[in-house]
Amino acid sequence: MTEASMNYEVFSREQWRKLGSTDTNVADSQLTPKVLDGLKAFNDQISLGEVNAIYVPLVDYIKMEYAQYERTRQARMNFLREEQTPSPFVIGIAGSVAVGKTTTAQLLQYLLQAEFGNDEVALVTTDGFLRSNADLKAQGLFDRKGFPESYDMPALLNFMDTIKDGVEEIKAPKYSHDISDVLEGEYDYIQRPKIFIIEGINTLQMSPESPIYLSDFFDLSIYLDAKTDLIEHWYLDRFVALLKQTAESQDPNNYFYPWTQIPFNEAVQQAEEVWRDVNLPNLNDYILPTRERADLVLHKTVGHVIDEIWLRKF
């Protein structure tokens, strides 16, 4: 198990489960196994027991932080003697590919919407700010997709600045995992929510073009952590599941279609090479070093079970 730095107070799963509201049980609410299955990312694993043990206390913690955020903004407004535009409370979620960021983000959105209202909690991924495949190929960066230089970081920083400015409506570029590319000219429109969640492998990284960290705009940051060999296993397991799904659909436009046209063992071998040559160096050099910048770390073990929660002391 990875050892937390001295900056964090470490809670076991059982210790964390006992925190927060004692009368809240998501398993008794509208979050049925069927609904939960719809919230989790493809081939991910999560149970109602995990929700009650980890995410219910986490939502209580977020509600506490949000209330403090609102008090601080009110105090600032009183000090400056001027009205301030409402500004969303921003939650950033980081971690490696295949570690379960999407499931955590979508589940938190669902649970927070139950508390604040459906229109008051928005979710965006940083995938939409990747440079297009055509652009990456033209710049000789396609094999570096996912690395810091493959993102349009000025656009992403400007987007976050607009979010915190409280602009009434903003648009977020869309990305398709089916074709593994941005959808040119397509956007999700966001109407100034109370809580804004952004997830991606690069949410705690500094921009190569700017001294500003994306997390400078966050009010709470969460890092999903696990041993590297487990993450590799989850990555390859997801690849195989996607390969089988694409083989059944036989959609030639799907990103994984070319791998269905070669022997299975050869396809898996290529996925192993992508992990070794792309995802592993990106994790070790750019993603994992940002873990210590997170306010809260959710440490996972076998089966995506969260066994430890690290909460920043200061």
For residue 29, pLDDT beyond 80: no
For residue 218, pLDDT beyond 70: yes
CB-based contact 62:263 (threshold 8 Å): no
pLDDT tens sequence across 226-270:
999 999 999 999 999 999 999 999 899 999 999 999 999 999 999
Share of residues in the chain with pLDDT > 70 (%) = 96
For residue 28, pLDDT beyond 70: no
pLDDT for residue 76: 93
pLDDT tens sequence across 69-105:
999 999 999 999 988 899 999 999 999 999 999 999 9
In the chain the domains, ranked by start, together with CATH numbers, are 8-227+290-312 (3.40.50.300)
Name the pTM for this structure. 0.94
Question: In a 10 Å sphere around its CB, with 0-12 CB exposed, 13-18 middle and 19+ buried, how is residue 112 labelled?
Answer: buried
pLDDT for residue 27: 46
For residue 121, pLDDT beyond 80: yes
Query: Any idea which of 33-42, 92-101, 274-283 has the lowest mean pLDDT?
Result: 33-42
Determine the average pLDDT of the residues in 38-43.
84
Look-up: residue for tokens 């989790």? 40
